[in-house]
Amino acid sequence: MNDRKIDLPVREMPRQWYNILADIRLNPPLKPDGAPMAPEDLAPVFPMNLIEQEMSTERWIDIPEPVMDVLSLWRPSPLMRAKSLEKALGTPARIYYKNEGVSPPGSHKPNTAVPQAYYNKIFGIERMTTETGAGQWGSALSFACSQFGLACKVYMVRISFDQKPYRKAMMQAWGGQCVASPSSETQAGRNALEKDPQTPGSLGIAISEAVEAAVSDTSGKTRYSLGSVLNHVMLHQTIIGLEARKQFALIGEEPDVIIGCAGGGSNFAGLAFPYVRDKINGREIAIYPVEPAACPTLTRAPFVYDHGDTAGYTPLLPMHSLGHAFVPPPIHAGGLRYHGMAPTVSQLVDEGLIEPQSVEQTEAYEAGVLWARTEGIIPAPETTNALAQVVKEARRAKEEGQTKTIAVSFSGHGLLDLAAYDKYFAGELKDVCMLEEDMRASQKVFADFPKPDSLTSGK
């Protein structure tokens, strides 16, 4: 076996997803009046088969064969050893990365886009709406909808729409329609533009627009799709970590450190959740979700009930949140600019099972360039945040003289993000730190909402 690339045969691809809700407890999503959400309350937004997954506490959920068939276009993804990076850093650590950039859209996002499109199709849905930040999710859902014959409309955060024009072209190539958000097409968009005609937009605003577009379709044939945050999304992404476990078993290793970038939580959860289960059951392992310091959801924001969108269309979710009205600075890690974090990831932080980290923008790009010059792949800006933490851990291992195994989820390539690299090389990218007074102001929106109960997994 090549000790730099650990492949898994297609026949060994996991046939079930791991549901972490079997091993932890969550506060329930709430209606605006504080009452728990019932499945039927979500029916105008999601098909019932996905709502059932969202609320399931079964530990293992079968992956349907039509989904397996599409996933096998690129899965299992390779587990790679970053030997050249290890050499450049002079570290005794062994660094492995799960390369999710090999999918057709170039990121981890199709892992959930494909099953979501499938479940909508068999439920009788004909059109899907969604939002996207950097464009990876919009590209992934457009790809997935093309596989199952569904129409797809994507509301893309305006700053990323302007920064990354070729993402729109990717969506169009797969039949998706992409509009800049906020737009004049929805009431939520018009409200945002009236408040600030020059707004760069936010994922919260784009979510409001996509939800509004779905529920306002009187035919009942349109549903909304989310690429992160919700439980069923985290569930679908666990194929990453389940594959990694099999690949590490092939070489007789176990990771000591798990790292993933974190915006809404899906990429991080995909690799980490199967290993969180090990940690719940007593294994010693460090698990780090890494976010931009400019959008410090996990590292500085409180664990609260808040809306997942700006207009307040979504339920109140128990999560670390900067406030649903938060408009992030236009940093180039577009997919990591969400105001909230997945309830499952937030709960794991609250229980001390994972340890969130943050990095500055220039530090992230420095790591991305080092990676490109050693491992050869140009990382997406989102991915560079995780790679910056990998560099820190590798250097710490060198200082301490420790041999450890580090595993990172490489969430996607950056071949459509070269404009950001241009700005980095020109010295135009600046670090942004959220001020305390801005933190306090952004949190006023959830001051009167119910508070989550303190829960532990009991495991």
The H-or-E segment that residue 9 falls in is none
Please answer whether residues 236 and 68 qualify as being in contact, where contact means their C-beta atoms are separated by less than 8 angstroms.
Answer: no
Residue 97's beta-bridge partner residues?
80, 408
3 state DSSP class of 404: coil
Contacts of 282 (CB under 8 A, 6+ apart): none
CB atoms within 10 A of CB 248: 17
Using the predicted structure, report yes or no on whether residue 300 has a pLDDT greater than 50: yes
Identify the weakest region by mean pLDDT among 75-79, 93-97, 135-139, 200-204: 200-204
- CATH no. for 64-106+232-446: 3.40.50.1100
Instruction: Provide the CA 157 distance to its chain's centre, in angstroms.
Output: 16
Contacts of 14 (CB under 8 A, 6+ apart): 63, 239, 242, 243, 246
Establish how many alpha carbons lie within 13 A of residue 425's alpha carbon, considering only the half-sphere containing its beta carbon: 8
HEC-encoded secondary structure of 114-140? HHHHHHHHHCCCCEEEEEECCCHHHHH
In the β-sheet with 177-181, what is the strand arrangement from edge to edge? 177-181, 151-157, 127-132, 222-224
Residue 439 pLDDT: 79
Residue 456 pLDDT: 65
Residue 459 pLDDT: 42
Please answer whether residues 155 and 181 qualify as being in contact, where contact means their C-beta atoms are separated by less than 8 angstroms.
Answer: yes
Using the predicted structure, report yes or no on whether residue 8 has a pLDDT greater than 80: yes
Length of the chain: 459
Question: Sign of dihedral through CA atoms 151, 17, 123, 31?
Answer: negative
CB atoms within 10 A of CB 18: 22
Burial 374-390 (b: 16+ CB within 10 A, else e): bbebbbbbbbbbbbbbb
- List the Cα angle 338/241/458 in 5-degree steps: 80
Using the predicted structure, report yes or no on whether residue 457 has a pLDDT greater than 60: no
Nearest to 209 by CA among 233, 234, 232, 178: 178
Please answer whether residues 424 and 370 qualify as being in contact, where contact means their C-beta atoms are separated by less than 8 angstroms.
Answer: no
**pLDDT confidence band for 289 (50 / 70 / 90):** very high
Q: Indicate the pTM of the whole model.
A: 0.93
Nearest to 360 by CA among 302, 287, 430: 430
Nearest to 222 by CA among 130, 113, 119, 126: 126
Tens digits of residue pLDDT in 163-200: 888 999 999 999 999 999 999 999 999 999 999 999 98
3 state DSSP class of 81: strand
- List the Cα angle 126/127/132 in 5-degree steps: 150
Using the predicted structure, report yes or no on whether residue 434 has a pLDDT greater than 80: no
Rounded distance between C-alpha atoms, residue 74 and residue 412, angstroms: 13
Q: Give whole-number Cα distances, 181 to 159, 203, 228, 323, 348, in Å.
A: 9, 9, 18, 19, 32
Q: Which runs of E-coded beta strand occur in 36-93?
A: 60-62, 79-81
Residue 339 pLDDT: 85
Tell me what the pLDDT averaged over the chain comes to.
Answer: 92
Rounded distance between C-alpha atoms, residue 43 and residue 38, angstroms: 9
Tokens of 350: 């609250």
Rounded distance between C-alpha atoms, residue 19 and residue 278, angstroms: 13
| Angle in degrees, 0-180, between the axes of helices 266-280 and 239-251, rounded to the nearest 10 | 60
List helix spans (H) across 224-375: 231-237, 239-251, 266-280, 297-300, 343-350, 361-375
Tens digits of residue pLDDT in 232-244: 999 999 999 999 9
Q: How confident is the model over 422-447, as a mean pLDDT?
A: 85
Transcribe 135-198 into DSSP letters.
Answer: SHHHHHHHHHHHHHT-EEEEEEEHHHHHH-HHHHHHHHHTT-EEEEES-SSSHHHHHHHHH-TT
Establish how many alpha carbons lie within 13 A of residue 1's alpha carbon, considering only the half-sphere containing its beta carbon: 17
Residue 330 pLDDT: 66
Using CB atoms within 10 A of its CB, is residue 427 exposed (0-12), middle (13-18) or buried (19+)?
exposed
Instruction: Provide the CA 310 distance to its chain's centre, in angstroms.
Output: 19
Tens digits of residue pLDDT in 101-151: 999 999 999 999 999 999 999 999 999 999 998 788 999 999 999 999 999
Specify the higher pLDDT residue, 134 or 209: 209
Q: How confident is the model over 71-82, as a mean pLDDT?
A: 97
Tens digits of residue pLDDT in 345-383: 999 999 999 999 999 999 999 999 999 999 999 999 999
